[in-house]
Amino acid sequence: MDPVEIKLITALEDRGLRKTAARSLVTSRIENANDAFTAEQLCRDLPEVGRATVYRTIRHLVDSGALCKLPILDGAPMYSVARVEHHHHTICSKCGAVGEFRHSTVERVMRSLEKEIDGDIVGHRMEIFITCNQCLAKSDTGANSAV
């Protein structure tokens, strides 16, 4: 009874969707991954579920807000379980690991931008590119210190 899995199944049911074997496989796999993933990765991990179904289920989860889709320059978008209501992402530019954070200052900036910007602000997105601690540790050992 993992809270995340419950959330994913609930998200689908809340949209009036049926609970099927294929959808259970997809949602539990996402929950077990506990890291950001691409649609293709999911398809590879679940050969017993059709591609179309994997893509459709992901779309439902994104539409419901249970998953967030983050666009990646040069590559397929990644998906991660939305653990925090409104949040932003950190992306390690070496290994691609995705994290989630929330900081009130970011939201406060939006208010001060309202005067700067022509039009109504309806949303925003922010990504912070980092070198994560794991990758920093690796390069400290001299394995791959070139930047």
The residue ranges that bind a second copy (CB under 8 A) are 69, 71-73, 77, 90, 92-93, 99, 101, 103, 105-106, 109-110, 112-113, 116-133, 135-136
Q: Residue 49 and residue 146: Cα distance in Å, rounded?
A: 41
Task: Decide the pairing of beta strands 88-92 and 98-101.
Answer: antiparallel
- Out of a second copy, DNA, none, what residue 137 binds, judged by CB under 5 to 8 A for its kind, is none
- Out of DNA, a second copy, none, what residue 44 binds, judged by CB under 5 to 8 A for its kind, is none
- What string marks each residue from 50 to 79 as x (binds DNA by CB under 7 A) or -? xxxx-xxx-x--------------xxxx--
Contact flag: residue 125 with DNA (CB under 7 A): no
Cα-based distances in Å from 79 to 39, 85, 119, 135, 147: 8, 15, 30, 21, 27
Cα-based distances in Å from 21 to 25, 27, 50, 81, 122: 6, 10, 12, 20, 37
Residue with smaller CB distance to DNA, 1 or 21: 21
Residue 63 has a CB neighbour count (10 Å cut-off) of: 12
Contact flag: residue 10 with DNA (CB under 7 A): no
| Minimum CB–partner distance for residue 18 and a second copy (Å) | 25
Task: Decide the pairing of beta strands 67-70 and 88-92.
Answer: unpaired
Q: Where does this chain bind DNA (CB under 7 A)?
A: 17-23, 38-40, 48-53, 55-57, 59, 74-77
